[in-house]
Structure 1
Amino acid sequence: MIEHLNRRQFLKLTSAMGVLPFIPSCVLQKTYWAKAEKIQHQLGAPTIPRREFNLDEYGAKGDGLFKNTQVFEAAIKACAAAGGGRVIVPKGRYLTGAIELTSNVELHLQAEAELLFSTEPNDYPKVLSRYEGVELYNYSPLIYAYKAQNIALTGRGLINGQAADENWWSWCGSPKFGWQPGMPRQTEDRNALFDMAEAGVAVEKRQFGHGHFLRPSMVEFYQCENVLIEDVTLKDSPFWNIHPVLSRNVTVRGVTVTGHGPNNDGCNPESVNGMLIENCLFDTGDDCIAIKSGRNADGRRLMIASENIVIRHCRMRAGHGGVVIGSEISGGVRNVFVEHCQMDSPELWYALRFKNNAMRGGVIEDIYVRDVTVGQVKFAAITCDFNYEEGANGEFTPQLNNLQVDNLKVKHAIRVLDSQGLDNAPIRGIRLTDCQFNGVTQASIVKNTQQLILDNVAVNGKPVSSL
């Protein structure tokens, strides 16, 4: 019978019977990691014509003072009109406002090239975007594309958001980031946006931007296909760093993301189908990688999951979580594969983190992790939290089904697992195989969690059969 059911169908059947069968780990790994390989093989690089357009030819000045916004626009327009190609940013510091890429265009930063983004909100026109999982018209992300195909952002240069405390970060409303009473803050606009979404206000009427205080992302490609972001360094984003939305076939490779500002998530795929994140370094003020799919009513309105995502050979330093799913998760997440990553920082809260609640709803399922090494995390190695923010105060049922973790090695974590479902929404199907947890000083928290299986798990050097 097993041969004629996929894993999800089989677990659903056996769960209804009140049992979770023991299937050898080697059998499981062969099945689901074959799917990860298939996802990687299906992803392809964007097709960019072999033409070059040097920014210098359009009057650029790399002195850090001259504003090059129109120069970038002219070079990208010329490149697109010719049928596509590579826009070269040579050595220098190029002050600019928003940059918008179009189909068949690659923006390439040579070594020692720096994009120095303006801190003037007026340099960012309104575009369709998502803010914390809700659609709106807001300040353009610093680098943006909409409904484009075959686009790339590459090179060894630096993308500097310049979001120091007094610029963008203070809008978060926290004194930690320079806000003081009487200064602008996001709170009122954020609440207004969320109220609009819950009331079903049309997206076209959700107009923010100039005169409002919702910070833009650094790089956002919206409804795009065949995307490559490679080798660049991103520093001090106003908000989230890399944010592909409703896009397909996305690769993020060899990227470094730094910045400890508010909501400085490293890479947030949102309602993305088919993505590879590899050989990247994240040192952030929030989650390193956070997979999302829309918030509350707006996420359910679109109902598009993030799925078929492979994360491998990445390093995570500071952050609220190494690999995170949620909390804007109403459209669901499935088929995520994480392998051969290294995480280590006293300011990294968790290695694996899952955030949901009864306002979000959404199904998280089929998450596979293997061969991850963790030096130090601040709290638990793994947390599955259905009490995040609003907790049980909602009408929608969060679900987390089938989390498989193989060969997770942790040198220091206060506790192994913090897994807390809701009374009417238990977490189901966590399986830890060949895992070692050291430096553990507190017992795991396991509430409203069913079908937790330990297979060759050791805590502080001693084999354990339960947590």
Structure 2
Amino acid sequence: MKNLINNLVILTVILLVGCKRNSEDLSNRVLTFNTIDVKAPFVMPGIKIPDFRKTKQYNITDFGAIPEDKNKNYNAIHEAIDLANKNEGGTVIIPKGEWLTKKIQLKSNVNLHLEKGATLLFSEDPQDYLPVVHTTWEGMECYNYSPLIYAYNCENIAITGDGEIKAKLDVWEKWYARPEGHMQNLKILYNLAANNSPVIKRQMVNGTAHFRPQFIQFNRSKHILIEGITITNSPFWTIHPYLSQDVVIRNVNVYAHGHNNDGVDPEMSQNVLIENCVFDQGDDAIAVKSGRNQDAWRLHTPSKNIVMRNCVVKNGHQLLAIGSELSGGIENVFVDNCEVVEDANMYHLVFIKTNERRGGYVKNIFVSNIKSGAMKNGVLGIETDVLYQWRDLVPTIERKLTPIKNVFLENIRAGHVKYVSRILGQEELPVENIHLKNVVVDLAEEEHSHHEHVIGFIEITKE
């Protein structure tokens, strides 16, 4: 009997220790969070982002993934995402190799992690991005092809690692042109949005619209991290946080030289940090937007508290573009300590653009400590009548001007430019309070600056 009791005690201890160890293992597999405090010339809230280092890992090969089999890879990735989501936190591992896939739809509490040497190669077939999802086209909400990586109403999501995500462009690059069918569908969407038609009725996959999807879109989501990855090619805008909060994009390399290939387009998003990235793209490095016309007035959400720092731009149109889709308002943008390489082929360092249809507002824009090569145009451009193809395509349905004020540029050195600043305000609503301090160029071809309808322009230059 004594031996039996001793054995039961030993067994109980073993079971208790085993339970404790299991409990400890589980406690180590929890999703945690970091808060990043960012210094800026305005009050910047701490940015809360997920930390997946202790979460359980789900390797897609355990779910049947096979290189070059896009259907099996698509199914494996989504099975892993589903399981990580159900377990309230997990990391989906894309191992070394090239993995052809269709669209990826992220879910809350999931990190898509690409190991070194891993490439997620996204199919060129538009059918692989159906069914349609609630998304946007140039500031107007609609139902369109899914972005290649898409998150809707999610929280605590990430794309991390040393690997690459890459888009095959076989079809998308044929859609870069804007033939008659595409233009007619632009008119249809414009009028639907202008008349506040329900978004569900704005079905834009119809055989002729050819509205290219964004590469990555975080839609109505929060607590987002993109870190370490390389992004190659894009059908449309590359990284698009839309109506999202607490976004960190860091140590990311973008190479995308297609049409409308902006690097990052924060739109109606708040508390965004972009740092230590390399941008080599066909359009703007960062283009801050806040929706177009009636849609943005309805959603009533400004883009604000956006910081870009310690980045290098190798090609594109602007280091910082604001607009022209800015109808929800844009405020508190800070770009600091960035470099534009000598042969980047840029138009401006900073370009703010709007028109009589936008409304919204722009205020509190700070750009400092920038080193740049030559610009096709100038250091600062502000224009209030930028309509591109829309000028003759559709009429102005409701006229709303955009107040622009409080723009500060400091400690900027650029090479050969046409002008330092060109500001074209409107007589009935002048641009206000523009300060340039220690903005120096090697050579200005034309007159130093050209300004119309500006109140409170101050320039202080010192070598």
TM-score with structure 2 length normalisation? 0.86
Match of 1:436 in 2: 440
Deviates more, 1:389-398 or 1:124-133: 389-398
What residue in structure 1 maps to residue 90 of structure 2?
Answer: 85
1:233 matched residue in structure 2: 230
What are the within-5 Å matches in structure 2 for residues 61-140 of structure 1? Answer: 61-63=66-68, 68-125=73-130, 126-140=132-146
CA distance in 2, matches of 1:63, 1:248: 35
Secondary structure of the residue aligned to 1:68 is helix
Q: Is the 8 A contact 1:66 1:94 kept in 2?
A: no
How many Å separate the matches in 2 of 1:436 and 1:252?
Answer: 30
The answer on 1:296 being equivalent to 2:298 is: no
| Residue number in structure 1 paired with 2:257 | 260
Does residue 146 (structure 1) correspond to residue 152 (structure 2)? The answer is yes
Q: Is the 8 A contact 1:36 1:310 kept in 2?
A: no
Structure 2 residue aligned with 1:359: 357
The CA distance in 1 between the partners of 2:114 and 2:240, in whole Å, is 19
Partner amino acid for 1:369? V
1:271·1:293 contact (CA, 8 Å) conserved in 2?
Answer: yes
Counterpart amino acid of 1:377?
Answer: M
Alignment of 1:31-42 (within 5 A): 35-36=40-41, 39=44, 42=46
Amino acid at match of 1:324: A
Matched, 1:339 2:343: no
Residue equivalent to 1:45:
49
TM-fit CA distance, 1:361 = 1.5
- Could you say if the C-alpha distance between residues 454 and 295 of structure 1 is closer, same or farther in structure 2, counting changes exceeding 3 Å? same
Cα deviation 1:89-133 (Å, max 9, x = unaligned): 001111111101111000001111111111111111211111101
Q: Report the equivalent of 2:431.
A: 427
The answer to whether the aligner puts 1:371 opposite 2:369 as a matched pair is yes
The question of 1:198 aligning with 2:202 is answered: no
**Shift of the alpha carbon at 1:37?**
7.9
CA contact (8 A) 1:172 1:186 kept: no
The answer to whether the 8 A contact 1:224-1:248 is kept is yes
Q: Who is 1:387 aligned against?
A: 385
Distance, in Å, in 2 between the alignment partners of 1:162 and 1:457 is: 49
Q: Could you tell me how far apart the structure 1 residues matched to 2:182 and 2:229 are?
A: 29
Secondary structure at the aligned position of 2:204 is classed as coil
Q: CA deviation at 1:192?
A: 1.2
Residue 63 of structure 1, CA deviation: 3.7
- Give the AA of the match of 2:55: R
**Mapped contact 1:232–1:254 kept (Cα < 8 A):** yes
**2:324 pairs with 322, 327, 332, which one?**
327
Letter in 1 for 2:47: L
Shift of 1:210: 5.5
Q: State the distance in 2 between where 1:63 and 1:161 align.
A: 14
Q: What are structure 1's unaligned runs of at least 5 residues? A: 1-32, 175-180, 459-467
Aligned residues: 415
1:89 maps to a residue whose letter is I
Residue 24 of structure 2 corresponds to residue 57 of structure 1:
no
- Partners of 1:37 and 1:255 lie apart in 2 by 25
Which residue in 2 is equivalent to 1:399?
Answer: 403
- One-letter identity of the residue aligned with 2:84: C
Contact 1:173 1:185 in 2 (8 A): no
| Coordinate RMSD, CA, aligned | 2.0
1:18 maps to: none
Contact 2:227 2:249 survives alignment (8 Å) = yes
Aligned residue type for 2:145:
Y
**TM-score, normalisation: structure 1:** 0.85
Q: 1:37 to 1:423 in 2, by over 3 A?
A: closer
For residues 215-226 of structure 1, the aligned pairs below 5 Å read: 215-226=212-223
Cα distance in structure 2, aligned partners of 1:64 and 1:312: 39
Contact 2:100 2:122 survives alignment (8 Å): yes
**2:70–2:102 contact (8 Å) kept in structure 1:** no
Q: Distance in 2 between matches of 1:43 and 1:405?
A: 25
| CA offsets 1:344-388 (integer angstroms, 9 cap, x no match) | 335211111101111112100011111111112221111011111
- Mark the CA change 1:241 to 1:185 in structure 2 (over 3 Å): closer, same or farther: farther
Q: For the residues of structure 1 that align with 2:77 and 2:204, how far apart are their CA atoms?
A: 25
8 Å contact kept, 1:47–1:104: no
C-alpha displacement of 1:395? 1.4
Q: Report the CA distance between 1:437 and its aligned residue.
A: 1.5
Between the aligned residues of both structures, percent identity stands at 36
Q: Is the 8 A contact 1:69 1:96 kept in 2?
A: yes
